[in-house]
Structure 1
């Protein structure tokens, strides 16, 4: 049993290099995923901005065609007057 239980310096160096390489690959993959996520979030933000602009354009078209807009519910209520008062 000579040397089987003790650490071999070459084996340790190989393992260290392997682990460092593995960590670099993982870091690279995480960076790629992170960049992809950020890109998709930016794209979603741009699409939301475009949607907002489209909604505002539609509001302007509806409000600018001369047709009366419906009254909000608070103005549609009839005034309550006590009956029998003069």
Structure 2
């Protein structure tokens, strides 16, 4: 049984070596994917920020327009009837 354990140990070492070797190949691919996702999300957030700023500006423009239209024209000064 001791001989079998020794063989299993060698197999485990070989499996671990293969796993580590394949991991060395996978890590750069994953890193590239993560960087790509980060760029994508960053661009999307920048675009959303720009759109929100444009929306805020449109709202402010509408408020200013409504305020200008909503104010009554200045009243004419009352005529003084004492002079007549």
Structure 1 length-normalised TM: 0.63
1:47 to 37, 48, 58: 58
Question: Which of the pair is proportionally richer in helix?
Answer: 2
Instruction: Tell me which stretches of 4 or more aligned residues in structure 1 moved more than 2 Å.
Output: 5-11
Shift in Å at residue 12 of structure 1? 1.7
Structure 2 length-normalised TM: 0.64
Q: Distance in 1 between matches of 2:52 and 2:41?
A: 16
Kindly report the root-mean-square deviation, in angstroms, between the aligned alpha carbons of the 2 structures.
Answer: 1.7
Which consecutive unaligned segments of at least 5 residues does structure 2 have? 1-10, 76-84
1:6 to 7, 16, 35: 16
Specify which structure has the bigger relative contact order, considering alpha-carbon pairs within 8 angstroms and separated by 6 or more residues. 1
Give 3-state SS (helix, strand or coil) of 1:35's partner: helix
Shift in Å at residue 13 of structure 1? 1.7
Number of positions where the alignment pairs a residue of Structure 1 with one of Structure 2: 62
Give 3-state SS (helix, strand or coil) of 1:19's partner: helix
